[in-house]
Amino acid sequence: MLLLLLTLSFAVQDSGAFVVRLGNDTLSLEQYTRTATQLRGEYVIRTPRSLHRIYTADLNPDGTVRRWELVTHNIGGGPGPMETKVSVEFSGDTAVMLYPRGVIAR
């Protein structure tokens, strides 16, 4: 029985969700899940335009970030691409960012 409980405790994930409001306006919604090897979340934001973003951080055994990726979906139909992907690879004291041509930082 103790072995089963220990096994279950290692399988548990940390997770949470947030709602950001200004008065009665909901500005954004976010949810995330963290395991021993990855942090993954997504959020929807309304301002300055409606976007859906998914972020993923792949973790090293010590909990530091090995790779980070952000995928942005333009759900508001505004100007710009419908989807963009940006990633950063970390190694020692170096970070290499892959930022496709035509992507505008926001």
Q: Could you give the CA distance from residue 19 to residue 93 in angstroms, rounded to a whole number?
A: 35
31 vs 12 pLDDT, higher one:
31
pLDDT at 60 over 60: yes
8 Å CB contact between 38 and 57: yes
What pLDDT, on the 0 to 100 scale, is given for residue 99?
82
Q: How far is CA 44 from CA 12, 15, 20, 49, 61, in A?
A: 26, 17, 10, 10, 30
pLDDT in tens, 62-102: 999 999 999 999 988 877 778 899 999 999 999 999 987 65
Query: Contacts by 7-14 with C-beta closer than 8 Å and gap 24+?
Result: none
Look up the pTM and report it.
0.78
Sort residue 61 into left (φ over 0), alpha (ψ -120 to 50) or beta.
Answer: alpha
What pLDDT, on the 0 to 100 scale, is given for residue 81?
79
